[in-house]
Amino acid sequence: MAHTLTRHLLEQMLHLVERPVAVIEACGPGTPLVWANHAFEQLTGYSGSELIGADHPWVPTPGALDALLPDTGTTDGGDVPPTPLHGRRRDGSFAAWQVRVSPLKLSDGRRGYWMLQVDERTHAGAQADATGLGDLRGRLAAAQRQIRQMSREDPVTGILGREWFEEMFRHQLAGAQRRGRPLALLLFDIESFDAYLQTFGSKAGDSCLRLVAHGIASAMRRTTDLVARVGDTRFAALAEDMSQADAESHASAIGQAVKRMCIHNPRAPGSRFVTVKCQVRVAVPGAGERVADWLDATTASPDEASAKVTRIQRALSS
């Protein structure tokens, strides 16, 4: 299996970068912006919806950004060194940006992208900015190497495997700890799967796993959401900034959606269809917490865990 960098994984990875970063198309008509992280939005004052597909409102001089790009129309070249660029924020104020352009080759064939690493240029900080931007490029290259080394996808379901999920989870934990923001972990276990295998066999079992996996993944739609198969019949979903009540409600809704798929399981006790048991943990990660702490124990105590599972299961059966 080729371990190429998909646009979705690139967005997840760059979302964790604290420096302003945007991605533009390198081929085709124009150079539209296709993605920007939160730091870029804060720097320019423009929201993602105002930036994506627009004619670069953060650069007031027509053609100034295009002048920084190689004229080959491909991403075969190397990095463009940090270059000053006059900018404009959404409030109309002008700024002096410093832009570094790096090529990206993603997994959608020959179509290429440029990554823009942007900082506000100051007299005192220009040299430090250039060094920091080089560090960012190094971190991205290291992450690309990790992608090639890992088995990113689960071979049965096609969603993320546990190894890559844990790697991304570690980044999310660190970011949530720094910002003091909560993470929500939703765990889904297929119930009576042995009975399903005994009835229909292993090939049908793989098909069932794929259906459940993509049913869960389709319900987690934010760029930063992660969904993976983390056990034989266990799936995990990770989301940012979700309350306990919202997470439990969302887990119940996903469980109901799986049930409505009507995957027949005639030997399952209490139901003729495939169902999932849901567990939820929502917390601001504490210092020293590990991914295993979250995956192996979704709540603080067995009694609390039992109460939450019961509450969600009641919602599923209603």
The closest alpha carbon to 19, from 115, 114, 145, belongs to: 115
Question: Is the pLDDT confidence value at 193 over 90?
Answer: yes
pLDDT tens digits, residue range 271-281?
Answer: 899 999 999 99
Which of the pair, 274 or 55, is modelled with greater confidence? 274
Which of the pair, 138 or 215, is modelled with greater confidence? 215
pLDDT at 102: 83
- Lowest mean pLDDT segment, chosen from 49-58, 103-112, 235-244: 103-112
Residue 126 pLDDT grade (very low, low, confident, very high; cuts 50, 70, 90): very low
Q: Which whole number is the average pLDDT over 156-165?
A: 88
Rounded distance, CA 138 to CA 155, Å? 30
Residue 239 pLDDT grade (very low, low, confident, very high; cuts 50, 70, 90): very high
pLDDT at 1: 34
Question: Is the pLDDT confidence value at 23 over 70?
Answer: yes
Looking at domain 7-149, its CATH superfamily turns out to be PAS domain (3.30.450.20)
Residue 128 pLDDT grade (very low, low, confident, very high; cuts 50, 70, 90): very low
Question: Is the pLDDT confidence value at 171 over 80?
Answer: yes
Percent of the chain with pLDDT strictly greater than 90? 29
Residue extents of the structural domains in the chain: 7-149, 162-317
pLDDT tens digits, residue range 72-112?
Answer: 544 455 667 888 888 889 898 888 888 888 887 655 444 57
CATH number listed for the domain at residues 162-317: 3.30.70.270
- pTM to 2 decimal places: 0.53
162-317: same fold as 7-149?
no
Average pLDDT of the chain, as a whole number: 78
Q: Which whole number is the average pLDDT over 297-314?
A: 45
Question: Is the pLDDT confidence value at 32 over 90?
Answer: no
pLDDT at 106: 55
Top-confidence range, 83-92, 133-142, 204-213, 279-288: 204-213
Dihedral over alpha carbons 309, 313, 314, 317 (to 10 degrees): 180
Question: Is the pLDDT confidence value at 46 over 50?
Answer: yes
Question: Is the pLDDT confidence value at 312 over 60?
Answer: no
